[in-house]
Amino acid sequence: MQIIITLMFWLTLYEGIRKLPAYRDSPAMMAGLVLDHVLPIVCLTIDFMFNMIPFMRRHLSLMLAISAFYLIFNFTIVQITGRYVYVIFKWKSVIDFILPFALLLFGFLLFVFLEFLSRNKMYYLSKKEFVEIQIMKLLWAI
């Protein structure tokens, strides 16, 4: 989900937000805005590269449930208050209804891709570890 959040921020929201006086006039606010949307994805990428925590299909249902709940919550807030949480989710035209579900589909496909990468990483690293263990056994035997 963080990949989608980061992409949506940088592709659709950043240009409008950075022009707001609160961010334009304050380097500290601008730095905070940028770090809020850069550090999480950097940390998660490093985590994925170095840790053996896999993406598993059973995690997908929870991710989709949280995303669906958020869309319902977002829709409700916009309908009740008339104020947008995000400019791209106005919930007025057909495109406004298609985009969130397209993002859910993109999230599903991204998850499947990351699961594939995770499975291959586990396979590669487990084979490498097996070879290293066998070499150490041979060295200890000598």
Domain that includes residue 73, residue range: 55-142
Residues 44 and 78 in one domain: no
Lowest-confidence region among 13-17, 42-46, 129-133, 137-141: 129-133
Asked if pLDDT for residue 96 goes beyond 90, the answer is no
The Cα 68–Cα 59 span in angstroms is 14
pLDDT at 14: 85
Domain total of the chain:
2
Average confidence (pLDDT) over 39-46: 91
pLDDT at 23: 86
Residues 75 and 13 in one domain: no
Using one digit for the tens of pLDDT, what is the confidence trace for 122-133?
877 776 654 555
Q: Which of 49, 63, 61 is nearest to 5 (CA)?
A: 63
